[in-house]
Amino acid sequence: MNLLVTGAAGFIGSTYVRGLLAADGPDAPHITVLDKLTYAGTLTNLPAEHPRLTFVQGDICDAELVDKLMADADQVVHFAAESHVDRSIDGAGAFVRTNVVGTQTLLDAALRHGVGPFVHVSTDEVYGSIETGSWPESHPLQPNSPYSASKASSDLLALAFHRTHGMDVRVTRCSNNYGPHQFPEKVIPLFVSNLLDGKNVPLYGDGSNVRDWLHVEDHCQGIDLVRTGGRAGEVYNIGGGTELSNKELTGLLLEACGADWERVDRVADRKGHDQRYSVDWSKIHNELGYTPKHDFTSGLADTVAWYRDNRDWWEPLKERAALESRKEQGKH
């Protein structure tokens, strides 16, 4: 079986691919990774020499390339996306192009070649913000950032291909991921890498915003349950079961890195900052047997230790990102 995985040089996609490659057996798929290798993707995340892995550098908006790869695919897991909220606030164009047009390009090609299931990986941010309780999959989409609006649009496109064409599309929506190999612009790896370097960390507003935390390996377990056992046209929430305010998370990271609150800079709150996310993941639990396996306390400790022990992975990425940022600033 040939599995096409988009965006798998990034954090979540590479974790998913490494997990599938680690499992042998007659049903083990050959995996083709399509990744543009933007700032957030790196080949160091993948076992490039693995006999069941083929890597193709390219853009999911490249219809000719996508069609060629889709002709040889049996199934698709679609991770590729622009995903950083702050970057979407600074400029939404790349998010619309990649997340909406790119998804449409993949769907068109998958439909043309009869490929399925097509698992579209999305985010809890499409639901907006919730004061109490948790969102079921049937909750209306109310995205508040350009990033989440582009992901909501791609969700609706994917589901429309199921309803219009009968295509086997399955959508997952996850809560905040953490774990090794996460690009150090997201809060946990940013804070850990800054603290390890003796730098301060930025805390938005009063730090009261609440997120549910999901270990990346648990997320990938849920995605593969949906790929192998989910139902066509359905949405599945994937949660971690650990809700923390940003201030509480900051305290845990300071403690783990042997730092104190003097290392925290209070910064102006993000525009349109959602107060709280919380997904109801009883559907995937009841239908497919999903349960998170990672305890947050030990998972966070292991993650901090990984960044402490793998400077050679994240230091070049931070340097490259800083250089690109300076180049962009020089254009204005």
Active site residue 124: yes
Asked if residue 149 belongs to a domain, the reply is yes
Q: Which helix (H) or strand (E) holds 312?
A: helix 311-330
Asked if residue 283 belongs to a domain, the reply is yes
Q: What local confidence, expressed as pLDDT, does residue 257 receive?
A: 96
Average per-residue pLDDT in the chain? Answer: 92
Number of H helices, E strands in the chain: 12, 12
Mean pLDDT of 253-275: 89
Range scoring the smallest mean pLDDT among 88-97, 271-280, 312-321: 88-97
- Number of other CB atoms surrounding residue 252 within 10 Å: 17
pLDDT in tens, 172-188: 999 999 999 999 888 99
The Cα–Cα gap between 77 and 63 comes to 17
Q: What local confidence, expressed as pLDDT, does residue 242 receive?
A: 96
Q: 208: Cβ–Cβ under 8 A, 6 or more apart, which residues?
A: 245, 246, 247, 275
Asked if residue 270 belongs to a domain, the reply is no
Q: 76: Cβ–Cβ under 8 A, 6 or more apart, which residues?
A: 3, 4, 5, 6, 70, 106, 110, 115, 116, 117, 118, 119
Number of domains in the chain: 1
Asked if residue 310 belongs to a domain, the reply is no
Asked if residue 304 belongs to a domain, the reply is no
- pLDDT at residue 270 tops 80: no
Asked if residue 42 belongs to a domain, the reply is yes
Q: What is the DSSP string of 14-44?
A: HHHHHHHHH--STTPPEEEEEE---TT--GG
Mean pLDDT of 97-122: 96
Domain of 118 in residue numbering reads as 2-178+215-239+276-296
pLDDT in tens, 20-73: 999 888 889 999 999 999 877 789 999 989 999 999 999 999 999 999 999 999
Q: What local confidence, expressed as pLDDT, does residue 330 receive?
A: 64
pLDDT in tens, 60-90: 999 999 999 999 999 999 999 886 666 766 6
Asked if residue 199 belongs to a domain, the reply is no
Question: Which of 35, 82, 125, 155 is flagged as catalytic?
Answer: 125
Q: What local confidence, expressed as pLDDT, does residue 234 receive?
A: 98
Q: What's 174's domain CATH number?
A: 3.40.50.720
Q: What local confidence, expressed as pLDDT, does residue 232 receive?
A: 98
Q: What local confidence, expressed as pLDDT, does residue 274 receive?
A: 80
Question: Which of 16, 127, 147, 277 is flagged as catalytic?
Answer: 147
Q: Which two tokens stand for residue 83?
A: 């995903």
Mean pLDDT of 192-220: 95
Question: Which of 82, 124, 218, 274 is flagged as catalytic?
Answer: 124
Asked if residue 133 belongs to a domain, the reply is yes
Range scoring the smallest mean pLDDT among 104-108, 162-166, 271-275, 279-283: 271-275
Q: What local confidence, expressed as pLDDT, does residue 332 receive?
A: 53
Model confidence, pTM: 0.93
Active site residue 125: yes
Contact 11, 40 (CB under 8 A): yes
Q: What local confidence, expressed as pLDDT, does residue 314 receive?
A: 93
Is residue 293 classed as helix, strand or coil in its secondary structure? Answer: coil
Active site residue 147: yes
